[in-house]
């Protein structure tokens, strides 16, 4: 089978993203090609939901091809993205005498990927990690670039490390089992890539967003959209692995999005839905500051509507509820926050630090 390949540079050397419908069947062969011999232990880290849908099948496939598999499942959901969950996984792997040469395959969405990657980065001071993302956010964003970690009661992703994987294997057909709401939520991240600089993706979404948001899952169209986003992400993290410049652009919509997720206890809005609203707020702030061109907010709203994503601010959430979490955002310091604001569709700027207290005027 022919799969698309995208190379990523990292401080630990280059790694390849392989992408294509049907890649899941090739995983044992890909593992061998990557230099992991049969008969040696492989970890398959997943979560309870993905276990039933996909991890049992992958585990059997690996065993059949001669890989002894150690399975571990996190509980499903952002509320379990904690040090306790990470410790349970470490306990299990250490109890079976894990060795540095044994790889971990991390199969799941963003939460599982972040925690599995973190386990890989601290276990025995680092074991090889291969990400096999099964959600839109995982496939277009979080599996690429080596960010790993857990949440803290003070905010999202406040504990973690940069730990580049050995490989990322993306099979868009995994998305078929997601609920329609989850799949549409992932489109919030896809729209983000178009807004921050991918002009071809902007054009593509104009014609493809309806198909991507529809109930019927179109593998080919999804593969194209994921390839565009994954290529953008690979280029950005290759240039700025540790997020000192252009990688910050990926946070477009996330400063307010993360705070929204936190304030609703990760129960109200899905990640991509919160990012969508966060992009609208960014456009409003940009407009107030004279940075964002007229019509940009309307284009974001139009994309979100086509994707069936929320575009109106939740009435029950006020700015003062968010402020505490904005203060704890990794990008804020001394009550000031660096913002990524749109200039126009396809172009964003990173602004100087703004006083958090003045940002409230962008929220109704
Ligand atoms: N998800 C944003 C980043 O990887 O930098």
Q: Could you report the per-residue pLDDT of 310-337, keeping only the tens digit for each? A: 999 887 777 777 777 777 666 666 667 7
Backbone angles phi, psi at 185, to 5 degrees: -55, -40
End-to-end, the C-alpha distance of the chain in Å comes to: 52
- Give residue 140's region: left, alpha or beta (phi > 0; psi -120 to 50): alpha
Pocket test for ligand 1, best of 235, 243, 330 (most atoms within 8 A of CB): 243
Nearest to 300 by CA among 315, 319, 324, 284: 284
Q: In angstroms, rounded to a whole number, what is the distance separating the alpha carbons of residues 150 and 158?
A: 7
Q: In angstroms, rounded to a whole number, what is the distance separating the alpha carbons of residues 199 and 312?
A: 26
Q: In angstroms, rounded to a whole number, what is the distance separating the alpha carbons of residues 106 and 88?
A: 15
Beta carbons of 131 and 217 less than 8 angstroms apart = no
Give the up-direction half-sphere exposure of residue 72: CA atoms within 13 A in the CB hemisphere. Answer: 25
B/e letters for 262-281, b = 16+ CB within 10 Å, e = fewer, are bbeebeebbbbbbbbbbbbb
Confidence bin at 304 (pLDDT 50/70/90): very high
**Average pLDDT of the segment spanning 194-219:** 97
Confidence bin at 97 (pLDDT 50/70/90): very high
Beta carbons of 254 and 278 less than 8 angstroms apart = yes
More confident position, 1 or 165 = 165
Flag whether the pTM goes above 0.85: yes
What pLDDT score was predicted for residue 275? 95
E strand spans, the chain = 4-8, 15-19, 42-47, 69-74, 104-108, 129-133, 147-152, 155-162, 167-170, 332-333, 336-344, 347-355
**Average pLDDT of the segment spanning 240-261:** 91
pLDDT tens-digit profile of 174-194? Answer: 999 999 999 999 999 999 999
Beta carbons of 168 and 210 less than 8 angstroms apart = no
By annotation, the residues acting in catalysis are 125, 147, 189, 233, 243, 247, 251, 254, 258, 271
What pLDDT score was predicted for residue 288? 87
What pLDDT score was predicted for residue 1? 66
Query: Would you say residue 214 has pLDDT above 90?
Result: yes
Query: Would you say residue 264 has pLDDT above 80?
Result: no
Report the SS3 class of residue 58: helix
Query: Would you say residue 117 has pLDDT above 80?
Result: yes
Query: Would you say residue 358 has pLDDT above 70?
Result: no
Atom index in ligand 1 nearest the CA of residue 236 equals 5
Determine the distance separating the centroid of ligand 1 and the alpha carbon of 143, expressed in angstroms: 9
The residue whose CA is least distant from atom 3 of ligand 1 is 250
**Average pLDDT of the segment spanning 200-208:** 97
Determine the distance separating the centroid of ligand 1 and the alpha carbon of 40, expressed in angstroms: 32
Residues with CB under 6 A from ligand 1: 141-142, 145, 147, 243, 247, 250
Determine the distance separating the centroid of ligand 1 and the alpha carbon of 141, expressed in angstroms: 6
Taking each helix axis as running N to C, give the angle between helix 319-327 and helix 254-263, from 0 to 180 degrees, rounded to the nearest 10.
110
Determine the distance separating the centroid of ligand 1 and the alpha carbon of 283, expressed in angstroms: 20
Confidence bin at 263 (pLDDT 50/70/90): confident
Beta carbons of 29 and 62 less than 8 angstroms apart = no
Atom index in ligand 1 nearest the CA of residue 145 equals 4
**Average pLDDT of the segment spanning 67-85:** 96
The fraction of the chain above a pLDDT of 90, given in percent, is: 79
Atom index in ligand 1 nearest the CA of residue 248 equals 5
Atom index in ligand 1 nearest the CA of residue 247 equals 5
Please, what is the Cα angle at 271 between 325 and 338, to 5 degrees?
Answer: 45
Spatial neighbors of 190 by CB under 8 A, at least 6 apart, are 136, 140, 201, 205, 212, 225, 229
Domains and CATH numbers, the chain: 4-177 (3.40.50.1970), 183-362 (1.20.1090.10)
Tally of CB atoms within 10 A around 122: 14
Determine the distance separating the centroid of ligand 1 and the alpha carbon of 128, expressed in angstroms: 20
pLDDT tens-digit profile of 124-145? Answer: 999 999 999 999 999 999 999 9
DSSP state of 54: I
Q: What is the mean pLDDT of the chain?
A: 93
pLDDT tens-digit profile of 9-57? Answer: 999 999 999 999 999 999 999 999 999 999 999 999 999 999 999 999 9
Query: Would you say residue 69 has pLDDT above 80?
Result: yes
């Amino acid at each position: 089978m022919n799969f698309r390949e995208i190379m990523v540079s990292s401080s630990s050397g280059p790694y390849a993203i392989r992408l294509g419908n049907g890649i899941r069947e090739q995983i044992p062969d890909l593992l061998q090609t990557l230099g992991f011999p049969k008969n040696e232990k492989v970890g398959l880290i997943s979560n309870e939901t993905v276990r039933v849908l996909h991890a049992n099948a992958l585990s059997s496939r690996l065993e059949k091809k001669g890989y002894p598999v150690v399975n571990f499942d996190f509980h499903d959901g952002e509320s379990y993205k904690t040090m306790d969950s990470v410790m349970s996984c470490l306990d299990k792997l250490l109890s079976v005498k894990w060795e540095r040469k044994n790889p971990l395959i991390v199969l799941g969405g963003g939460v599982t990927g972040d925690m599995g990657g973190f386990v890989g980065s601290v276990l025995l001071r680092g074991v090889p990690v291969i990400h096999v993302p099964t959600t839109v956010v995982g496939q277009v964003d979080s599996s690429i670039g080596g960010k790993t970690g857990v949440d803290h009661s003070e905010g999202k992703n406040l504990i973690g490390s940069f730990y580049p994987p050995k490989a990322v294997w993306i099979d868009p057909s995994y998305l078929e089992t997601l609920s329609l709401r989850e799949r549409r939520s992932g489109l919030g991240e896809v729209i983000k890539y178009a807004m921050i600089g991918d002009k071809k993706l902007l054009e593509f979404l104009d014609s493809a967003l309806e198909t991507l948001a529809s109930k019927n899952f179109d593998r080919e169209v999804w593969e194209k959209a994921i390839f565009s986003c994954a290529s953008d992400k690979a280029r950005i993290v290759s240039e700025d692995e540790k997020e000192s410049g252009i990688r910050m652009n990926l946070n477009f919509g996330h400063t307010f999005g993360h705070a929204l997720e936190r304030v609703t206890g990760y129960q109200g809005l899905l990640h991509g839905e919160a990012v969508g609203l966060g992009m609208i707020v960014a456009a409003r702030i940009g407009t107030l500051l004279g940075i964002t061109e007229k019509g940009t907010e309307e284009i974001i709203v139009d994309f979100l509507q086509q994707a069936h994503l929320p575009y109106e601010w939740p009435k029950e959430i006020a700015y003062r509820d968010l402020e505490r979490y904005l203060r704890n955002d990794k990008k804020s310091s001394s009550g000031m926050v660096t913002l990524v604001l749109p200039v126009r569709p396809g172009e964003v700027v990173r602004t100087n630090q703004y006083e958090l207290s003045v940002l409230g005027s962008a929220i109704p």
